Structure 1
Amino acid sequence: MKDNDILKTKVMGHRGAALLAPENTLASIRAAANAGATWVEVDVYLIAEGGLIIFHDDTLDRCTTGTGVTRDAHPVSVAELDAGSWFSAEFVGENVPTLLDALECIQSLGLGLNLEIKHDGADVENIVPAVLTVLRDHWQDNDNLMISSFNHAALRMCYDMDADRHLAQLYEEIPENWQAEMEAIKGYSVNCDYSRLTKAQAQAVKAAGYKLLCYTANDPQKVETHWAWGMDAVITDDPTKFAFLSA
């Protein structure tokens, strides 16, 4: 568990601001900033040749003009894809950002970053060292950065390689062994599905000294009770819906 309190916000944009602009693009990151968010969550995905892009899906089809398995896509090919036209004509020509593109954009806007390692496989050694190397070389403020993942092995490797990072274990539904997993990574926060969270779980997370973040909350009324349970921040597709919480 990390002692310092890095989270200075109650509202974090999800995949940038996924309801305001095409998710996981620089346009979406800018939209989150324009909506008043001071932190954004984006997904980093490993592709062919060791490329690292900001992307969520296992296939390219939903959010780009490309098709096929994301992991097999080559950086040169991905760079040519349109990642905005599916959302609206306003974003035709929007690119799939590289991790470096996103880091530069986010820091230029003065935002905090929740970087989710999107990796379902066991071969975490293929993505974690690469991500940590880019962060080491291109991210300036460790107290403005959280690394999250559903993949506990990926977070374990993050901790083993750089114990100073602020790590967040992602869950859909918080399991019985959540505390052991958090202790194994000296975790900073538990990030979970707001709709599956119980009051008892929330209070247990807070009693253990961890931050509690809930995704993907797009209706303030649906998480109204969660604040009383101890929720520290929402991860939302539309930060404007939670503008009343902004500092």
Structure 2
Amino acid sequence: MTTPTPPLWTLLENQPGPRWIAHRGGSLLAPENTIEALRAADQLGADAAEMDVYVVADGGLMVMHDGTVDRTTNLTGTQSTALTVPAALRGRVDAGSWFCNTWPSDLRIPVFADVCADIAPRLPLIVHCNNHGSGNPAVAEIVRQDLGGRVLVMGWWESELVAARAAGIPSLLLCPDGTPPAGQTWNGLLAAGTAYVGVDYTQTSAATITSLAAAGLRVMVYTVNSRTDYAALPKDGSVWAVISDDPWYVRGTAPMRTKDLFSAGTFFHGMSAPTDLVDYRGSFTPGATSWWGLDGTRADVTADNDSYASCRHGYLGPLASTFTVDTDLVFDSASSGTASAQLTLTVGDVPYDDHPSGSSTAANGYNVLLRQSGVIDVYKVAAGTPTKVGTVTTAAVTIGAVQHLRVQVTATSLIVTRTNAATPNSVTVSDATYRGTMYPHLGVRHASTRWSALTIS
């Protein structure tokens, strides 16, 4: 007699923790909340995927996070009052190229029913009911497709979870700081049928997470995108699941690379930008020589982050105690006499933002600047504060010409060399403060710069 296979959500429950959930399908690797992102989450072996559902003006359910369609499509308008199902499906809706310049421009906003039918048979889904009134129709569709054993329903408000409880579908209440809603208790929520709680790791503490788990709740922590932040979470079994835009990178199962993947023409694991830049992580130029670049002269970068843009290349880390970084680079434009391309090395994969008021207070390491003027400056960074520790003036960099930069980190020094320039072309800094578990970031200020042939040896 064949033993029945347990439902997907039961299998997920039976796994050892923490489970790893692909937030919006893994929104650092593919356009969020698209069928393509959710299929990638399945192919890459996520334990489950989270997605957002909105009830729109004609009562239909679309898969999208924001209250407007402006950020992630070529449409405009407010989802709940202006968008309809036919409007979302018409013509060539562009839900891809905003994410990366090389992605197709005809990706669609998915219909909730299509995502359920495509993904839920293979991968457990967390359905985030993201606006008032979305809970009831979402549960109705889940029941219609007989997916009750494959999904969890999540919401900001208890009212959106009532239908899920009535249908016997697991439910999760989002409580960012780990505090129950006014007038509610955790025991009351558990008794009502909500056994899961979602907390924001930036708004709660390890002690709170542990206490929630001790109260009998299954705690999902969001949205954890760095290994450093994950390391700070309690490891006592109280984290039931980690929700991440790149769970494969954070959990350490994504492969480390010793050379770039720019020829793939899309972002790889561990690539993220400073908070101020939101979704901007640069663009690709695939071809015989493949380039990836950042434009610090873009209007949004200039306005939002003082003409500074950067991106962590986490797939190259953690780096050993001694190593050499080699890269080709090109200045395509410079809007200031101090315009620079930057290579930052941080201890741990913490954010780094060279903006004067940037959020890099946790950053320790080194920042190497090759300025378009030809000056090479080396800074030592302590708790986010840079101090110049070395400089050399080389020949001015010609716009459009390929340069080669080499940064050697030895046990006692940093040696920075512009190998294609005449001497003097190198500066040596004697310093052994930071070594081991370092991660590289590439950045620009007042410049549009691209890199190729980035390697670690």
SS at match of 1:41: strand
Q: Deviation per CA, 1:28-55, whole angstroms, max 9, x where unpaired?
A: 1012123221300000100021110101
Query: Does residue 1:200 correspond to 2:200, yes or no?
Result: no
Aligned position for 2:144: 137
SS at match of 2:235: helix
Deviates more, 1:231-240 or 1:171-180: 171-180
CA contact (8 A) 1:212 1:232 kept: yes
Aligned position for 2:316: none
Aligned position for 1:87: 99
Of 58, 78, 87, 2:88 maps to 78
Q: Deviation per CA, 1:183-237, whole angstroms, max 9, x where unpaired?
A: 3532121111112221231122111111111110011221223242511211110
Alpha-carbon deviation of 1:157?
Answer: 4.3
CA contact (8 A) 2:225 2:244 kept: yes
Aligned position for 1:113: 125
Q: Relative contact order, CA 8 A, sep 6+: which one is greater?
A: 1
Alpha-carbon deviation of 1:134?
Answer: 0.5
Q: Deviation per CA, 1:61-108, whole angstroms, max 9, x where unpaired?
A: 000110011112111111122211211232321110011111122135
CA contact (8 A) 1:167 1:185 kept: no
- Structure whose CA Rg is larger: 2
Letter in 1 for 2:61: L
Residues 1-247 of structure 1 mapped to structure 2, 5 A cutoff = 6-7=12-13, 8=15, 10-72=19-81, 73-80=83-90, 81-88=93-100, 89-108=102-121, 110-119=122-131, 121=132, 124=133, 127-140=134-147, 142-159=148-165, 161-162=166-167, 164-176=168-180, 177=184, 179=186, 182-183=189-190, 185-229=192-236, 230-244=238-252
| Structure 1 pair 68–20 and aligned structure 2 pair: CA distance change class (3 A) | same
Q: How many residue pairs align between the two structures?
A: 234
TM-score normalized by the length of structure 1? 0.86
Greater percentage in strand:
2
SS at match of 1:129: helix
| Structure 1 pair 240–200 and aligned structure 2 pair: CA distance change class (3 A) | closer
CA contact (8 A) 2:12 2:47 kept: no
| Structure 1 pair 171–245 and aligned structure 2 pair: CA distance change class (3 A) | farther
SS at match of 1:43: strand
Letter in 2 for 1:75: V
Alpha-carbon deviation of 1:245?
Answer: 6.6
CA contact (8 A) 1:44 1:52 kept: yes
Letter in 2 for 1:105: D
Greater percentage in helix:
1
Gaps of 5+ in 1: none
Letter in 2 for 1:22: P
Q: Distance in 2 between matches of 1:144 and 1:225?
A: 31
Q: Distance in 1 between matches of 2:108 and 2:191?
A: 37
Gaps of 5+ in 2: 1-9, 255-457
CA contact (8 A) 1:38 1:111 kept: yes
Alpha-carbon deviation of 1:180?
Answer: 5.0
Q: Distance in 2 between matches of 1:67 and 1:217?
A: 30
CA contact (8 A) 1:169 1:187 kept: yes
Q: Distance in 1 between matches of 2:227 and 2:36?
A: 24
| Structure 1 pair 243–175 and aligned structure 2 pair: CA distance change class (3 A) | closer
Q: Deviation per CA, 1:109-143, whole angstroms, max 9, x where unpaired?
A: x1011111001x4xx3xx33211110001143x33
CA contact (8 A) 2:230 2:250 kept: no
Letter in 2 for 1:219: S
